[in-house]
Structure 1
Amino acid sequence: MMALVDTELAFSVLLGREQGLVEQILADIALGTFVSGNRLVTAQLAERYGTGVNPVREALKQLEGEGFVTSQKNSGARVASFEYTSMRDLFEILQLLEPYFMAWFVDHYSDENVARLDQLLQQMRGLTTNDRVGFLHLDNLFHWEMYRHHYNKSALKIWKTKRLMLLAMHGNLAVSRTRIEHSIGEHQQIIDALRAGKGAQSVQALALHLSSSEDYWSKLIR
């Protein structure tokens, strides 16, 4: 059984050393630490992240430009209310990138990779019903295990950023046990296809998993 984990652990895959303050704030939104409508007080954020107020202001300005933060003259910066169209656009980008990574993985994976995927899946099965953070952490690791060796590091960096942004849109939404169980089954189909040496089938299973995930979150956002 896996306990709730902190931000750094839960998003260790997405928050690499090259990531900065913007990504840390996004991670806190993704974890539900800050939710839609919450004020983002510059001095408090500076203390939280161990930095100065000017870097925080710059980060908030960037997040405002990307639609994650709103700013008004008298109320300051707040976490934005996210729209379906923004989430749809991010899903479409991920649905282009992830099968591209997977198509390379099916030609290069090892038994060790599959064993690692299976280990992560078993940990998902052992989660408590309300462990949203644990599920997101393991899901990140599962996908990362399939993509991390890809040669196109620029594309991987885009994937990390867009996935983190997508998770931030879900920050104040619960993951139902039914969705977790469906997701576990979809991950199992990917593993089964890999073990059977059916590369095209595993890519198709991944695409169906992404489509199923989009359908679930779309209904909640709408």
Structure 2
Amino acid sequence: MPKEEKSIGQSPLLSDADSVYAKIMNDIADGVFVSGDRLVTTQLAKRYDTSINPIREALKQLQGEGFVSISPNSGASVSKFEFETMRNVFEILQLLDPYLLQYFVETYTSEQMAETQSIQDKLENMSDDELMEFRYWDTEFHWSIYKHHYNKQAIDLWKRNRLILHAMHVNLPINLIRIKQSIVEHRALLNAISNRDSDEALGVLRAHISGSGSFWSRHYRF
């Protein structure tokens, strides 16, 4: 059952924070439950102060989305993500991120840009001790850009794959060099966005995703 709590808050990708589904998903994405962990319905019901039926319904939904595996003999457990899954996730995000970004570059308002800027300021002002929170604020950064897109199906697909990424990487060690490099890349992306330069913004974003993918591919362990 649960590891030591690591959460710094509800994932920005889970809007219905009070639902049982969101609570379980947040715990998976946050590393409270990791790949292979059993998910016992009675223990989950106690943890989330609810009855068994909502837990079962949430687990079935998570099974359909690929986050949970359910078998007649061993019950429910967090899915065991493999290298192929990580590769597929990165390839999907490499397609979706530029698509969602371009719309923002062309349509953002001053208020929307100010929100993204404030998140970047938070990242740039983090101390080394606070950088363990980077994955949360990195997701906030990208979400502040993509959530304004009109294509809600594309946004939902992006959110699902981003959550899978969280679940796969949550127990990997923090690498300060890669984190600080990513923050610099965010700044370059913001500069291109502020100039309404789609070509430059897309180039920076593709390099950012590629760099992250190469790094985690080298460090991922089964």
TM-score (norm 1): 0.83
- Identity in percent: 44
1:141 aligns with 2:143: no
1:16 aligns with 2:10: no
Distance 2:87 2:69 in 1: 20
Distance 2:18 2:124 in 1: 30
In the TM superposition, residue 133 of structure 1 has moved relative to its aligned partner by: 5.8
In the alignment, what sits opposite 1:198? 197
In the TM superposition, residue 71 of structure 1 has moved relative to its aligned partner by: 4.6
Say if 1:116 and 1:68 are closer, same or farther in 2 by CA, change over 3 A. closer
* Contact 1:26/1:165 (<8 A) preserved: no
Say if 1:73 and 1:113 are closer, same or farther in 2 by CA, change over 3 A. closer
In the alignment, what sits opposite 1:91? 90
- 2:76 match: secondary structure: strand
* Contact 2:94/2:209 (<8 A) preserved: yes
Distance 1:19 1:165 in 2: 20
Distance 1:160 1:86 in 2: 15
1:52-201 aligned at under 5 Å gives the runs: 52-71=51-70, 75-131=74-130, 134-201=133-200
- 1:106 match: secondary structure: helix
Distance 1:112 1:137 in 2: 22
In the TM superposition, residue 216 of structure 1 has moved relative to its aligned partner by: 1.9
Instruction: Describe the superposition over 1:93-142 as per-residue Cα deviations: whole angstroms up to 9, x where unpaired.
Output: 22211111111111112344333323211211232435466322221221
Amino acid at match of 1:120: I
Instruction: Describe the superposition over 1:11-35 as per-residue Cα deviations: whole angstroms up to 9, x where unpaired.
Output: 1x21113995344322211211112
In the TM superposition, residue 42 of structure 1 has moved relative to its aligned partner by: 1.0
- 2:138 match: secondary structure: helix
Say if 1:154 and 1:67 are closer, same or farther in 2 by CA, change over 3 A. closer
Say how many residue pairs are matched.
216
- 1:78 match: secondary structure: strand
- 1:77 match: secondary structure: strand
In the alignment, what sits opposite 1:213? 212
Distance 2:16 2:167 in 1: 19
Say if 1:193 and 1:79 are closer, same or farther in 2 by CA, change over 3 A. same
Flag structure 1 segments of 5+ consecutive residues without an equivalent: none
Q: CA RMSD in A?
A: 2.6
In the TM superposition, residue 84 of structure 1 has moved relative to its aligned partner by: 0.9
* Contact 1:97/1:155 (<8 A) preserved: yes
* Contact 2:119/2:137 (<8 A) preserved: yes
In the TM superposition, residue 176 of structure 1 has moved relative to its aligned partner by: 1.3
Amino acid at match of 1:86: T
In the alignment, what sits opposite 1:43? 42
- 1:107 match: secondary structure: helix
Say if 1:65 and 1:110 are closer, same or farther in 2 by CA, change over 3 A. closer
Higher relative contact order (CA 8 A, sep 6+): 1
- 2:38 match: secondary structure: coil
Say if 1:90 and 1:220 are closer, same or farther in 2 by CA, change over 3 A. same
Q: Once structures 1 and 2 are overlaid, which stretch shifts more, 137-146 or 182-191?
A: 137-146
In the TM superposition, residue 65 of structure 1 has moved relative to its aligned partner by: 5.0
